[in-house]
């Protein structure tokens, strides 16, 4: 008779999307899995993705996916080769959560409810035999008594010790503390010798100290082209939507552009200077009244920026910054850019 193989105990720290997926696959592999979630529910951040609709993935090839990863795409090559966007789609479909592909190859649950994705993953966890412990925040990783940096389990904030042969950290970063992402994973990883990189926002809106942005709060610009350059090299260029907020500007275009900038402090500073220059150089904001086809009176905001002045401004920024990051905020055209601000 052969000897029986002892069941491997695995602890997953964090009950977000990554932790849920890790626990599912560990359970399927035959491990006895315990998932520790510091909060009271699973997938908190999943609920707010895609404006509550959950943009699960993109239906694209591996190469197409990696081209959109602004920083260190090679890191994801192995993981995506093992489990592709199409595999994720199939996982949800097989589990009874149909998905649809929308504009830009974005994949959403057919119901357009993020809660359906979370419930589906929770159901798969249950089928894989995963034990979930809520209100369980990890204080420290336990290591072997011989001094080797071999993790043997975790210790919770209340002093409870839980043994494990493997511990998976899936605590999230620092992007949304309200959902539990407070940086615990960095602290725990560093405690056992791992090196971590400086933390900075991957997607960032732009904050300015000018008061006119606040007066434009809610003004959304469509069909705007934003181009970021470093010297003559184009770092990012795309057509999309931009939004003025009470603190500056945001929107999909600005957020996507920020992912391509390594020095966020300089990026914010240059964009702030750029926006102030736009005003100082008398780029005009004009409003016109129209009647739509149904005869209803509407007020539209028409914003028109002159390419030559923008090019001159970008040239000055490049000249002043030389080897540093240069920002070219270029609006090719905003013809037909009309925001309905009242009906």
CATH 1.10.10.10 for domain 9-191: no
Q: Contact at 8 Å (CB) between 53 and 114? A: yes
Average pLDDT over the chain, rounded to an integer: 77
The string of pLDDT tens digits covering residues 186-215 is 999 999 989 988 777 667 777 777 777 777
Q: Please, how many CA atoms are within 13 Å of residue 311, restricted to the half-sphere of its CB?
A: 5
Q: Please, how many CA atoms are within 13 Å of residue 107, restricted to the half-sphere of its CB?
A: 18
Angle of CA points 175, 177, 182, to nearest 5°: 85
Whole-model pTM: value is: 0.67
Distances (CA, A) of 4 to 1, 7, 91, 129: 9, 9, 31, 20
Would you say residue 305 has pLDDT above 50? no
**Beta-carbon contacts of residue 181 (< 8 Å; ≥ 6 apart):** 16, 45, 171, 172, 173, 174, 175
Number of helical (H) and strand (E) elements in the chain, helices listed first: 11, 18
CA-nearest of 336, 292, 39, 276 to 181 is: 39
The token pair that represents 170 in the structure block: 């899936």
Q: Which residues sit opposite 12 in a β-bridge? A: 35, 168
| Residue bearing tokens 């791992």 | 194
**Beta-carbon contacts of residue 29 (< 8 Å; ≥ 6 apart):** none
Strands 131-134, 32-37: pairing is: parallel
- pLDDT, residue 164, reads 96
- pLDDT, residue 277, reads 54
Helix axes 114-127, 17-28, angle to 10 degrees: 30
Domain boundaries, the chain: 9-191, 206-340
Would you say residue 290 has pLDDT above 90? no
Beta strands in the chain (DSSP E): 9-13, 32-37, 57-58, 99-102, 106-109, 131-134, 138-143, 151-156, 161-163, 166-169, 206-207, 220-230, 233-244, 248-250, 285-291, 297-303, 326-328, 339-340
The string of pLDDT tens digits covering residues 133-170 is 999 999 999 998 766 678 999 999 999 999 999 999 99
Measure the CA–CA gap between 203 and 270, rounded to whole angstroms: 17
The token pair that represents 291 in the structure block: 């009647």
Measure the CA–CA gap between 56 and 142, rounded to whole angstroms: 34
Helix, strand and coil content of the chain, in percent to the nearest 5, comes to 35, 25, 40
The string of pLDDT tens digits covering residues 256-280 is 877 776 655 555 555 555 555 555 5
């Amino acid at each position: 008779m052969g000897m029986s193989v002892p069941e491997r105990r695995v602890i997953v720290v964090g009950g977000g999307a990554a932790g849920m997926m890790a626990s599912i696959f560990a359970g399927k592999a035959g491990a006895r899995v315990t998932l520790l979630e510091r909060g009271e529910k699973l997938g908190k951040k999943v609920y707010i993705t895609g404006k509550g609709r959950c943009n699960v993935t993109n239906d694209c090839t591996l190469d197409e996916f990696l081209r959109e990863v602004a920083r260190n795409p090679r890191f994801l090559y192995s993981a995506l080769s093992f489990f592709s966007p199409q595999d994720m789609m199939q996982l949800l479909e097989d589990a009874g959560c149909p998905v649809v592909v929308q504009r830009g190859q974005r994949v959403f649950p057919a119901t357009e409810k993020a809660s359906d994705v979370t419930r589906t993953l929770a159901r798969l966890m249950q089928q894989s035999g995963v034990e979930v412990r809520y209100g369980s925040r990890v204080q420290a990783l336990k290591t072997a008594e011989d001094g080797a940096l071999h993790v043997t389990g975790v210790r919770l904030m209340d002093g409870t010790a839980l043994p494990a042969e493997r511990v998976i950290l899936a605590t999230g970063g620092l992007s949304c503390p309200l959902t539990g992402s407070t940086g615990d994973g960095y602290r725990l990883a560093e405690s056992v010798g791992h090196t971590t990189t400086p933390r900075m926002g991957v997607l960032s809106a732009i904050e300015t100290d000018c008061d006119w942005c606040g007066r434009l709060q809610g003004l959304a610009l469509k069909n705007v082209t934003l181009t970021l350059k470093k010297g003559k090299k184009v770092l990012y260029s795309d057509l999309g939507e931009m939004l003025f907020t009470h603190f500056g500007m945001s929107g999909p275009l600005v957020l996507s552009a920020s992912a391509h900038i390594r020095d966020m402090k300089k990026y914010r500073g240059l964009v702030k200077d750029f926006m102030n220059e736009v005003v100082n150089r008398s780029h005009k904001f004009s409003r016109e009244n129209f009647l739509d086809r149904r005869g209803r009176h509407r007020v539209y905001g028409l914003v028109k920026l002159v390419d030559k002045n923008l090019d001159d401004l970008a040239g000055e920024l490049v000249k002043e910054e030389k080897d540093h990051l240069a920002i070219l905020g270029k609006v090719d055209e905003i013809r037909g850019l009309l925001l309905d601000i009242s009906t």
